[in-house]
Amino acid sequence: MNTASKRVLITGVNGFTGRYMRTELEANGYEVFGLGTHPCDDPNYHQVKLTDAQALHTVLAEIQPNAVVHLAALAFVAHGDANAFYETNLIGTRNLLEAISASEHTPECVLLASSANVYGNASEGMLDEQTEPAPANDYAVSKLAMEYMARLWMNRLPIVIARPFNYTGVGQASSFLLPKIVSHFTRGADRIELGNLDVWRDFSDVRAVVQAYRRLLEVKPVGLTVNVCSGNLYSLREVLSLCERITGRAISVEVNPAFIRANEVKKLCGDSKRLRSIIGEWNTPSLEETLRWMLAARE
Q: Is the pLDDT of residue 3 over 50?
A: no
pLDDT at residue 175 in the model: 86
Q: Is residue 40 part of a domain?
A: yes
Q: Is the pLDDT of residue 113 over 80?
A: yes
Q: Which residues pair with 11 in a beta bridge?
A: 35, 70
Q: Is residue 295 part of a domain?
A: no
Among candidates 153, 225, 178, 162, which has minimal Cα distance to 21? 162
What CATH number does residue 26 fall under?
A: 3.40.50.720
More confident residue, 93 or 137: 93
pLDDT tens-digit series, residues 135-165: 988 999 999 999 999 999 999 999 999 999 9
Q: Is residue 239 part of a domain?
A: no
Do the Cβ atoms of 202 and 268 come closer than 8 Å?
Answer: yes
Q: Is residue 79 part of a domain?
A: yes
Lowest mean pLDDT among 6-20, 127-141, 175-189, 248-262: 248-262
Q: 77-99 as b/e, with b when 16 or more CB fall inside 10 Å?
A: beeeeeeebbbbbbbbbbbbbbb
Q: Per-residue confidence at 125, pLDDT binned at 50, 70, 90?
A: confident
Q: Per-residue confidence at 2, pLDDT binned at 50, 70, 90?
A: low
Among candidates 167, 169, 172, which has minimal Cα distance to 204? 167
Q: Which helix (H) or strand (E) holds 18?
A: helix 16-27
Q: Is residue 27 part of a domain?
A: yes
Mean per-residue pLDDT for 217-237?
A: 96
Mean per-residue pLDDT for 192-208?
A: 92
Among candidates 124, 57, 42, which has minimal Cα distance to 94? 57
pLDDT at residue 197 in the model: 86
d(CA 75, CA 93): 14
Q: Is residue 197 part of a domain?
A: no
pLDDT tens-digit series, residues 30-69: 999 999 999 999 999 999 999 999 999 999 999 999 999 9
Structural domain range at position 126:
7-169+204-231+269-284
Residues 6 or more apart in contact with residue 183 via CB below 8 angstroms: 174, 298
Question: Considering its fold, how many domains does the chain have in total?
Answer: 1
Do the Cβ atoms of 39 and 16 come closer than 8 Å?
Answer: no
Radius of gyration for the chain, computed over Cα atoms and rounded to the nearest angstrom: 19
Do the Cβ atoms of 82 and 138 come closer than 8 Å?
Answer: yes
Mean pLDDT of the residues in the chain? 93
Q: What is the DSSP letter of 212?
A: H
Instruction: Outline where the chain has alpha helix (H).
Output: 16-27, 53-63, 82-85, 93-102, 138-151, 177-186, 206-219, 236-247, 273-279, 287-297
pLDDT at residue 77 in the model: 60
Do the Cβ atoms of 31 and 44 come closer than 8 Å?
Answer: yes
Do the Cβ atoms of 140 and 176 come closer than 8 Å?
Answer: no
Q: Is residue 199 part of a domain?
A: no
Q: Is residue 262 part of a domain?
A: no
d(CA 75, CA 214): 21
